[in-house]
Each structure stands twice: as structure tokens, then as C-alpha cells.
Amino acid sequence: SALMGICLSFHIRVNLAQPAGLYVEVSQLYNVIITSHAFIMIFFFVMPVMMGGFGNWLIPIMVGCGDMSHPRLNNFSYWAIPGALFMVFMSALIEGGAGTGWTLYPPLSGWIYQSSPALDMVILSLHIAGFGSLFSSLNFMCTMITSRFYAMIPERMPVFCWSMFVTSWLLLFSLPVLAGGLTMLLTDRHINTS
């Protein structure tokens, strides 16, 4: 996912290097590249690698346990990411792609401007990636609370474990809000709730 995000970043830089840009005839393509780059780099590279990758690798070592508390939950949070990433890739191929920008502001993501199902695929993939990150955060907290070495009192836990614990709490409270906002956007698009 990082290589794909870097390739999309390269396309953005090449387009901005010329005064008229490369995608003047197809302006929606530039918007799709911006949107895909942002979602891929934030939700499919930074969050899974920084939280999931380093957390799954370092937390069991630092708290003195053999593995994470809930390996099946860990497995689900791992396998949710490639499926959601595939949906973001495929959304770029459906009726011009989802070119709303990374914030998904309602005028650009409304049914009038973006009537293709590509945006619905992106919203669904963000839901799936959010569930994966949420379950991963729960697993980190459970591992640090219940599975640590008996002499590892909370005051002796390394700073990395504390930072992952606090970040997991923040994700536990912020990801449901993100999912609620995405669901409201989806209902605005399909049943006109705004």
C-alpha cells in the first residue's frame, strides 16, 4: 500500500509541476488520485504499520507475554486491511472513481456531484478498516492489562506501551465517531436525510 501511495503522490507532483497540469481534460482523475492517495496513506499505511505492525511486534516483547491476548481478534484486524484496501483500489475503476477529497465534504460527496457507487465502496472500506483498527486497539489494551508479566506493574511498563495504550484509548473513542459520520454521509446519499 505504501508503494501505491507513493506512486499516487508522484502523479500529484507531476501534475502540479506543470502550469496547466496533466489531467486538465479529465479533472475527475486528479480528484480520484488525491482521494485515493490520502485514504491509502492514512488508513492503509500509517495506521496499520505504526499501530498494528509495531504494536503486534513490540507489545508482547515489552510486557513479557508470548503473544497478544486474543489472537483471532488480531487475525481479523490483520485481514480486514487487505480487503478494505482492495475495495479502495477497485473504487477508482468504477464510473470515474471517488473524487471527493480526503475529507469527504458533503457538497462534493453528495448524490448530485458524485452519483457513482465508487464513493459507497470507499465508505464501506473505511468502515472495514476502522473496525480492524478498533479491534486491534482493544487487543492492545487487553494484552497490556491482562497478559503482562506478573512483576510488570503499570509503573514499570515502557513508554512505548503507555503511548500505545493511550493511542488505543483515543482510537476507541474516535473511530466510532468516524464510523457514525461515514454512516450519516451514506444515509445522506441514499435516503436524503439532510
Per-residue pLDDT of the chain (194 residues; tens, 9 = 90+): 889 889 998 988 888 888 777 765 677 888 888 899 999 999 999 989 888 889 999 999 999 888 899 999 999 999 999 999 999 999 988 888 888 888 888 888 888 888 889 999 999 999 999 999 999 999 999 999 988 888 788 888 899 999 999 999 999 999 999 999 999 999 988 888 87
Q: pLDDT at position 37, please?
A: 92
pLDDT in tens, 92-103: 888 888 888 888
CATH number given to 2-191: 1.20.210.10
d(CA 53, CA 35): 24
Q: pLDDT at position 110, please?
A: 82
Q: pLDDT at position 124, please?
A: 95
Closest CA to 56 of 159, 154, 133: 133
149 torsion bin: left (phi>0), alpha (psi -120 to 50), beta (else): beta
Q: pLDDT at position 180, please?
A: 95
Is residue 153 within 8 A of residue 144, CB to CB? The reply is no
pTM of the model: 0.88
| Residue spans per domain, the chain | 2-191
Q: Kind and range of the H or E element at 84?
A: helix 71-91
Q: pLDDT at position 24, please?
A: 58
Is residue 140 within 8 A of residue 59, CB to CB? The reply is yes
